[in-house]
Amino acid sequence: MRYRVTGLAAEAAFFAILSLPPLLFGLAGSIGFLAERYDVTEVDALKQQILDASARALTDDTVASVIAPTLDDVLRRGRFDVISLGFVLALWSGSRALNVFIDTITIMYGLAGRRGIVRTRALSFSLYVVGLLLGIVVVPLVLAGPSLVERLLTPETSWLAQLYWPVVLAGTIAFITTLYHLSVPVRTHWRHDVPGAVLTLVFWLGGSWVLRESLQGAIGGTSIYGPLAAPIAVLLWLYVLSIAVLIGAALNAAFDRLFPDDTTAGARLELVRRLRAKAVAARMREVGLDDQVPAWEDLSAPRTHELRVDLADGVDRVDADRQARAEGRQKAPAPPRRQG
């Protein structure tokens, strides 16, 4: 595919799943400092849930010899080293996954090089931190489902429970649209990124359903994959999500090419002028016109035409000089042979 969507989606999914274990350990390490405020049974229940989740991805020996002792130590008194190392690894790998999305979206819009490496990395890091903070609040509410909302509502407002899933879907579309909007190096209208976000959501939901049905038949029950079944399922799900995000971005980029926004069209024109200036400057230096090399800001249309005329004259002079030297070497008499 033109933008290597499948390969880039695999890269994003890999770094996303790589960020999960250190993130969980960092969260567990922070709980250790607050464990005294909670009942012992609640802490033990949390520990058992983590061990059960680890058992789906790791062998029993690994869980018993590594995971369980580490959790006991962390949950009993807290471990600052575990927190710092866990969050550092999670922030690096998670922001690296977002960096793949931002870079790819920038290339899709034809604006590669518009935003520097440092700014791109800072943006991906900031978005990942904001996503984590939102996830801490939103994910538990989504996992709790409409039943939690129904318990919180009064009989007079029980009709609001019907808005649960529409609100969740609208919030997801808004989040993906914001990701697309911020990934473009120039500011565009937020609403222009909504079509790609809708396509992403549809593709994600459909792909998740197909993946679920396929995995139930492939690794349901007794699986030949053993403890690797759960990580494989999570990785495939993240892969489907990454493909959906990139396909939605490609749709927005295609719409921008057909109905270009003034800011993106102007930014692409500016990049073309930069590349043209570099090409003209490099060629002028080759033909000895170093003193006439302009800055790219000076390359207006009339100025570019003048430089091309000067460049053509310089190239003609250099070519003529080279041809004259070559003809001179051919006409020069051969040195007399030495008599033996």
Indicate if 125 and 270 belong to the same structural domain: no
Residue 69 sits in which domain range? 5-259
Rounded to the nearest 5 degrees, what angle is found at the Cα of 201, between the Cα atoms of 113 and 143? Answer: 115
Q: Are residues 245 and 271 in the same domain?
A: no
Q: Are 73 and 174 members of one domain?
A: yes
Q: Which of 233, 259, 285 is the last residue of a domain?
A: 259
Nearest Cα to 124, choosing from 89, 91, 164, 152? 91
Low-confidence stretches of the chain (pLDDT beneath 50): 1, 296-297, 301, 340
DSSP category for residue 156: G
The answer to the question of residue 339 being in a domain is no
Q: How many C-beta neighbours within 10 Å does residue 8 have? A: 20
- pTM for the model: 0.71
Q: 134-150 pLDDT, tens per residue?
A: 877 776 666 666 666 67
Same domain? For 35 and 166 the reply is: yes
Q: Which of 241, 233, 229 is nearest to 212 (CA)?
A: 233
Q: Are residues 197 and 308 in the same domain?
A: no
Q: For residues 292 and 284, is the Cβ–Cβ distance under 8 A?
A: yes
Decide if 338 is inside a domain: no
Among 259, 280, 312, residue at a domain's last position: 259
Query: Would you state the pLDDT for residue 235?
Result: 85
**Domain match, 119 and 176 both:** yes
337 in a structural domain: no
Residue 123 lies in a domain: yes
The answer to whether position 334 is within a domain reads no
Identity of the amino acid at 102: I
Query: What's residue 1's pLDDT?
Result: 47
Of 218, 226, 233, 236, which is closest to residue 58 (Cα–Cα)?
A: 226
- Examine the domain organization and report whether 180 and 290 are in the same domain: no
Q: Give the 3-state secondary structure percentages of the chain, helix then strand then coil, rounded to 5.
A: 85, 0, 15
Q: Phi-psi category of 145—alpha, beta or left, where left has phi over 0 and alpha has psi -120 to 50?
A: left
Residue 207: which of 245, 171, 176 has the closest Cα? 245
Q: Which of 259, 279, 294 is the last residue of a domain?
A: 259
Classify residue 335: in a domain, yes or no: no
3-state secondary structure of 141: helix
pLDDT, residue 159, reads 75
Total tally of structural domains belonging to the chain = 2
Same domain for 81 and 146, yes or no, is yes
